[in-house]
Structure 1
Amino acid sequence: MSKSKTIGVLGGGQLAKMLCDSAKKMGYTSVILDPSSDACGKFSANLHLIKDYTDEKSLKEISELSGVITYEFENVPIESVEIIEKIGGNIPQGKTPLYLSQHRIREKNAVRDLGVKTAKYKQVSNIKDLKEALNEIGVPAILKTCSGGYDGKGQWKIKSESDLNNIKLESKEYILEEMVNFEKEVSCLVVRGTSGEVVNFPIGENIHKNGILNLTVVPAEISKRLEEKIIENSKKIIEKLGIVGPLGIEFFIAEEEIYFNEMAPRPHNSAHYTMDACNYSQFDIHLRAILGEKIPKIKLLKNVVMLNILGEDKEKLEKIQKSKKGIVHIYGKNSWEIGRKMGHVNFCGNDIDKLIELAKSF
């Protein structure tokens, strides 16, 4: 493998797999570092280093093999990036995006300081803090762990003070957030290159089921004013925070106002539609950004509805495959567990209402 034509990826999940697919399409080889021998990224990577993320020997090896290194998920240890930087590896995104996105208070503070609107929130660490914060914020509210939670895990909805009886706080940091009575959740993926240029993908409207993303509808049914405001705020966040690479940002819409929800410095589940509905996928642009290449203008070629396939959706998947009405992407994970993301399907066409109906029909 030629170092100048090799891309290293910290993490070996489905996002790494699709990054490696894009790398191959662009004429690059790839190497992933992931401690699991079952990591599905191995099916697309040229080399899989099965070691812990902080293993110095492996970080040195991936640095020596790769012309550029990236990460596929936001919980890669910051220590890994520090080791790579110390030994002279090329990791353009650096540790700042991880530092911010790994802690909800840091993330919210950074965005609020830019003048981007958020729901009310307070940091809490014990029941006394929680009761005081609840008196200030009111109900309904949502309590989340400051780090580590995803897909509805590490979260508790509080509709009345009696709900506190069901919550047992451990020695962790938590964030209590006002629960916004939103009409829609939307997401915007922005990507910033090493030269500072920024592009955005079309805004998607997200529909969840049991706390996990179920459908993303593109284009989102929102006003032109809101669309412009979401893009403006997304570009402000990635530019002012100096983030390089992709940044998936979720917003709530309530009464023609937008509220920042959360962000992730990686390819985003809600942007998987880009693989079949845009002139370039989010993975293609991610790689171009960190490689320092000129980033092309993004175009939506057709309307699309993206459907997540979870571990409980085997029968649904079989029906979709038999119908031949969607473009199926399966990640190759070894066990189909309830709630686990196993793949996605893109339904592309002209009539967005018919696409939504089709995606919901299986």
Structure 2
Amino acid sequence: MSQQHTVWVLGNGQLGAMLSHAGQPLAIDVRPVDIMTPNGDILPIESSHVITAEREQWPESSTSLQLSQHPHFINGPVFGRLADRFTQKSLLDELSVATAPWQLVNDSISADELHQAYGDRVLLKRRTGGYDGKGQHWLKQAQSTSIPNDWRNQAIAEQAINFDEEVSLVGVRTQDGSCLFYPLTLNLHQDGILMASIAPLSRLNHLQAEAEAMLATIMNGLDYVGVMAMECFRVGEHLLVNELAPRVHNSGHWTQAGCHINQFELHLRALCNLPIHTPQVNFQCVMVNLIGVEKDDRWLSLQNAELFWYNKEVRPGRKVGHLNLSVHDTDALNATIKQLKSWMPSQYQAPLDWVLAEFA
């Protein structure tokens, strides 16, 4: 027997839009809500409807309260817990999931004490609000940098990790507690912003079991339902968790092209308690984020490319779209990347070379 499903989304950015798109083939009515400029209207939310969020934090208003206080706001307590790096890191320690050594920057701690504990490079991260490289401050002993006064009790200090590369795992937990996962994704960040992802990669296969055990421990510990992303550092042959996202995630966008169930549909299936099975990977993909660049219709001439344009105002450093490039043929991918290099601005040359090197 089929059932009508309605899912409201706190936020109507690109993730909400892609959730809405993924719901259409399954006749799931997905309704993203603008919570940044609420109009105070009473939303027609029914008792059977489900609520999710595309972001970890939101301003309090009559609109956001209607959504976040609904009894079917799935994972409600999780968002605030993971949005605060202090409580997120505390959770990882409680669950014995490996992460960078850290502590709260309290009123009494000095930069010298942090250097004694963690070395000559210590990264301060604002407890909330920092993303895409924002909300970070380096303490460097050689430069005698100091702790900003307004960061005390509002930031954590982390040991700098000399990692080999960055990977992420996107998984899902169902309402009956089953956990399923996509393959690990290799990521490249530039100035703290994700520029490109590649998945799957056979050379990462030996890390898959460790990554799955870590994310399953986290999702089970939170009694989580839906898709969650775990960003990690690879240090030698092991992983350290960098950050968690209780939602669909940028590094999982490749699944829109490469898998028979993408991360957005997988999230909706879990929320609506619909059947779920391990997503089948149809082919390898490269995802290229479009950051602060104008839309270029020449991208549509690339035979192995799928364009997702968010229709947002273009600003420096802003994610305005992404390209998913299917890797059916390495030569075709190399030709596409070289063509993109000729069209894209200077900040894209190194990330696109990084992609070429992975397939050399």
| TM-score normalised by length of structure 2 | 0.85
Conserved in 2, the CA contact under 8 Å of 1:277 and 1:303?
Answer: yes
Q: Kindly tell me: are residues 65 and 329 of structure 1, through their superposed partners in 2, closer, same or farther at Cα, counting changes over 3 Å?
A: farther
Q: Which residue identity is paired with 2:308? A: H
Q: Which residue of 1 aligns with 2:181?
A: 200
* Residue number in structure 2 paired with 1:346: 324
Q: Flag the 1:235–1:355 CA change in 2: closer, same or farther, 3 A.
A: farther
Letter in 1 for 2:300: Q
Q: CA 1:177–1:28 in 2, change beyond 3 Å: closer, same or farther?
A: same
1:110 and 2:91 aligned: yes
Assess, with a 3 A threshold, how the Cα gap between structure 1 residues 220 and 175 changes in structure 2: closer, same or farther: farther
> Is 1:92–2:71 an aligned residue pair?
no
The answer to whether structure 1 residue 286 and structure 2 residue 264 are counterparts is no
Partner Cα distance (1:250, 1:352) in 2: 27
Q: Residue 13 of structure 1 corresponds to which residue in structure 2?
A: 13
Amino acid of the structure 2 residue aligned with 1:323: L
Distance 2:331 2:60 in 1: 43
Residue identity opposite 1:328 in structure 2: L
The aligned runs of 1:1-362 (5 Å cut-off) are 4-36=4-36, 50-51=38-39, 58=42, 61-64=43-46, 67-76=49-58, 84=67, 89-95=71-77, 97-126=78-107, 128-160=109-141, 162-165=143-146, 167=148, 169-170=150-151, 172-220=153-201, 222-311=203-292, 313-314=293-294, 317-333=296-312, 335-351=313-329, 355=333, 358-359=336-337, 361-362=340-341
8 Å CA contact 1:67, 1:90 repeated in 2: yes
**Do the aligned partners of 2:99 and 2:242 also contact (CA within 8 Å) in 1?**
yes
- Structure 2: tracts of 5 or more residues without a match: 342-360
Q: For 1:114 and 1:251, locate their aligned partners in 2 and report how far apart those are by CA, in whole Å.
A: 16
CA distance, structure 2, for counterparts of residue 356 and residue 65 of structure 1 = 51
Q: Is the 8 A contact 1:81 1:94 kept in 2?
A: no
Question: 5+ unaligned residues in a row in structure 1: which ranges?
Answer: 38-49
- State the AA in 1 paired with 2:56: E
Q: Which amino acid aligns with 2:250?
A: N
CA 1:117–1:303 in 2, change beyond 3 Å: closer, same or farther?
A: same
The secondary structure found in structure 1 opposite 2:311 is coil
Measure the CA separation in 1 of the matches of 2:126 and 2:205. 35
SS in 2 for 1:117: coil
| 1:357 positional shift | 7.2
Deviation at 1:66, TM superposition (A): 6.5
Change (3 A) 1:186 1:352: farther
* C-alpha separation in 2, matches of 1:227 and 1:354: 28
Q: Does the 8 Å contact 2:85/2:156 carry over to 1?
A: yes
Identity of aligned residues (%): 29
Q: Given residue 348 of structure 1, which amino acid in structure 2 is its aligned partner?
A: S
SS of 2:56's equivalent in the other structure is: coil
The alpha carbon displacement at 1:62 in A equals 4.7
Q: Residues 283 and 163 of structure 1: is their aligned pair in 2 closer, same or farther, counting only changes over 3 Å?
A: farther
Q: Which amino acid aligns with 2:187?
A: N
> 1:169 aligns to what SS in structure 2?
helix
2:357 is aligned to none
C-alpha spacing 1:91/1:103, structure 2 compared with 1 (3 Å): same
Counterpart code for 2:294: K
SS at match of 1:90: coil
Is the contact made by 1:139 and 1:178 (CA closer than 8 Å) also made in structure 2? no
Q: Could you tell me how far 1:36 is from its partner in structure 2? A: 4.7
Q: Quick check: 255-264 or 160-169, which moved more?
A: 160-169
Q: Distance in 1 between matches of 2:137 and 2:12?
A: 29
Q: Deviations over 1:88-116 (max 9, x none)?
A: 54222222x21221111211111122121
Q: CA deviation at 1:235?
A: 1.4
The answer as to whether partners of 2:306 and 2:325 remain within 8 angstroms in 1 is yes
Q: Given the two structures, how large is their TM-score scaled by the length of structure 1?
A: 0.84
Partner deviation per Cα, 1:282-332 (whole Å, 9 max, x = no partner): 000000001011212211110110000011x227x4442343441111011
Check conservation: 1:302, 1:348, Cα contact below 8 A.
yes
Secondary structure of the residue that 2:115 maps to in structure 1?
Answer: helix
Q: Give the Cα–Cα distance (whole angstroms) in 2 for the partners of residues 137 and 8 of structure 1.
A: 43
Report how many residues are paired: 337
Counterparts of 2:331 and 2:101, CA distance in 1: 35
